[in-house]
Amino acid sequence: MTPPALPPTVAAHVPTGILIDGAWRPAASGRTFTVSDPGTTESLFDVADAGSDDALDALTAASNAFPEWRATAPRVRSELLRAVFETITARTEDIAALVTAEGGKPLAESRAEVAYGADYIRWYAEQAVRFEGLARRAPSGTNHQLVLRRAVGPALLITPWNFPIAMIARKVAPALAAGCSVVIKPAQLTPLTTAYVAEIIRAELADRGLPTGVINVLPSASARSISGPLLSDPRLRKLSFTGSTEVGSALLKASADTVLRTSMELGGNAPFLVFEDADIDAAVTGAVQAKMRNAGQTCVAANRFLVHASVAEEFTAALTVAFDKLVVGHGADEGVTVGPLIEEAAVDRVQEVVAEAVDGGARVRIGAERPDRAGYFYNPTVLDRVSPDLRVITEETFGPVAPVVTFGSEDEAVALANSTPFGLVAYAYTRDIGRVLRLAESVDTGMLGVNRGLVSDASAPFGGVKSSGLGREGGEAGIEEYLDSVYVAI
Ligand code: NAD
């Protein structure tokens, strides 16, 4: 198959097999599945389709490598991660081309994702030598207490398609820094970037004489044939999942039998609050960022625009003008600012929720249509007069649609913001610092962006409350997910 959107220099270096114990190989079944470019619908590569036998082989490799990796000096683990960071950064253009080819996002966004993903690897290279324990005299005075930190063990890392380098970097970097070995199950729709990055890590391990079973990768078209046998195997000690709340909840249930350590980065339904004292120009700039990154397909995408009635028309009109300037097209084409959705079903779903909103009385300010071109595109859309009980508000749209709902008071805004089972992130535009502090106390989310459309940072704890998840990625907290405490009474 000829990969049309990929420079041949990149295409020649994309592993399409399964990585187990330092070697890329075909699936035990011999099966493959096809990865396509959502901007053209054309096929890119056939990739090995791992099944349960491969999954168990990968876990065997990870558990065999774990004791040596856990005992490896933190400085050595740190230097390995630093070298991986340097290589990824040096190959930004190639990796960005791959991210765009399999995921569709515009090249500028793909480059930003590479930098953002690499930043987690750098951060955990720095943290690998800094995790701390405790030593103290017991309050009774009769003995001393030591608390040591120890790697949890082999970890299964399952990632979604929307950030094929960043999502895996946020897991693999703290896992390796802590001393865990890993089995990675990338998303079926975008396994190529993960394979490319895993090969960089494999090569660094091999060059340094470190155990190659530390990283194993299982692309698969049947996720359950991977998670099923691994979650019931007592050798697996940790699951870190990013994806939908529905799948996360099923995996939590499946993890109960072995009482597995789990972290869950799940769905969002972010409110974007614009108060009467907001800088409207800044709010519009932030709204475009928070809504349109990856064509609206991010867990932190602003899903509901809650705007004070007194500034609603000014904000909505300016947002409509800003959306009108966006350029929809193939992510590799010059000047494009909005790429395709990931697959046909995603476009169908967006069309459905928009049609339902319009039937329910919403007004289309711009968009609400599919452009006439190949690929899974949908035009940037602004809706106002939207009733808050419609699915475009109550569910994660995962597309380039901005529905505007008005409110009359701060209390009403907070009640609307909290009227969802999700709690990943909220955005608020206001000049009132007192209000900012009240919102930080009252809006039920794990993160709050204040006068900013972007919150995520490798050095800060990313994660949600309520149905948006358990645990944090990034910052000092991210490595805790891969460490146990061992209390020693002396
Ligand atoms: P998804 O839940 O469908 O899939 C995520 C991963 O789980 C994929 O690798 C998939 O193959 C795998 N999977 C699916 N069913 C499985 C099963 N039964 N057992 C084991 N693995 C299974 O999600 P998606 O469509 O890839 O991603 C979009 C979702 O991810 C959105 O809800 C988005 O909000 C969420 N997300 C959350 C974050 C976060 O940090 N909170 C980040 C990115 C995406």
Same structural domain, 214 and 298: no
Residue 3 belongs to a domain: no
Residues 251 and 317 both lie in one domain? no
Q: Are residues 300 and 243 in the same domain?
A: no
Residue 1 has pLDDT above 90, yes or no: no
Q: How far apart are the C-alpha atoms of 372 and 350, rounded to whole Å? A: 16
Identify whether 92 is part of a domain.
Answer: yes
Q: Are residues 247 and 326 in the same domain?
A: no
The verdict on residue 428 lying in a domain is yes
pLDDT tens per residue, range 125-181: 999 999 889 999 999 999 999 999 999 999 999 999 999 999 999 999 999 999 999
pLDDT of residue 3: 45
Which ligand 1 atom lies nearest to the CA of residue 158? 9
C-beta 160 within 6 A of ligand 1: yes
Nearest to 290 by CA among 432, 450, 443: 450
240 vs 424: CA distance, rounded Å: 17
Angle at 16 between CA 10 and CA 18, to 5 degrees: 140
Residues 175 and 310 in one domain: no
Catalytic residue numbers, as ranges: 265, 299
Residue 248 lies in a domain: yes
Could you tell me if residue 29 is inside a domain?
yes
- Between the CA atoms of 350, 452, 116 and 68, what dihedral angle is there, to the nearest 10 degrees? -100
238 in the same domain as 316: no
**Average pLDDT for residues 373-391, to the nearest whole number?**
97
Among 8-17, 69-78, 343-352, the range scoring the smallest mean pLDDT is 8-17
Measured CA to CA, the distance from residue 156 to residue 142 in angstroms comes to 41
Per-residue confidence band for 9, with pLDDT thresholds at 50, 70 and 90: confident
- Indicate if 177 and 290 belong to the same structural domain: no
Whether residues 117 and 34 share a domain: the answer is yes
Do 297 and 217 share a domain, yes or no? no
Helix (H/G/I), strand (E/B), else coil: 250: helix
Asked if 291 and 322 touch (Cβ cutoff 8 Å), the reply is no
Examine residue 451 and state whether it is found in any structural domain, yes or no: yes
Per-residue pLDDT band at 432 (split at 50, 70, 90): very high
Domain of residue 187, residue span: 8-266+468-489
Coil, helix or strand for 173? helix
- CA of 368 from ligand 1 middle (Å) equals 26
Q: How far is the CA of 72 from the centre of ligand 1 (A)?
A: 32
Quick: pLDDT tens for 405-417.
Answer: 999 999 999 999 9
Task: Please tell me the predicted confidence (pLDDT) of residue 4.
Answer: 52
Q: Is any atom of ligand 1 closer than 6 Å to the C-beta of 187?
A: yes
What distance separates the 2 farthest-apart alpha carbons in the chain?
78
Q: Average pLDDT of 272-289?
A: 98
Q: Among residues 340, 269, 337, 336, which one has the least CA distance to residue 301? A: 269
Q: Is 471 near ligand 1, meaning CB less than 6 Å away?
A: no
Say yes or no to pLDDT of 85 above 90: yes
Q: Find the CATH number of the domain harbouring 438.
A: 3.40.309.10
Per DSSP bridges, beta strands 18-20 and 363-366 are: unpaired
Q: Are residues 236 and 274 located together in one domain of the fold?
A: no
Q: Ligand 1 centre from 376 Cα, in Å?
A: 19
474 occurs within a structural domain: yes
Answer yes or no: do 31 and 86 share one domain: yes
Ligand 1 and 185: CB distance under 6 A: yes
Domains in the chain, number: 2
Low-confidence winner among 43-47, 131-135, 223-227 (lowest mean pLDDT): 131-135
For residue 119, is it within any domain?
A: yes
Calculate what percentage of the chain has a pLDDT beyond 90.
97
Q: How far apart are the first and last CA of the chain?
A: 64
- Rounded to the nearest whole angstrom, what is the distance from the C-alpha of residue 221 to the centroid of ligand 1? 13
Ligand 1 contact via 266 beta carbon (within 6 Å): yes
pTM equals: 0.97
Give me the CATH number covering residue 254.
3.40.605.10
**Are 364 and 437 in the same domain?**
yes
Q: What is the pLDDT of residue 90?
A: 98
> What share of the chain in percent tops pLDDT 70?
99
What is the pLDDT at residue 449?
A: 98
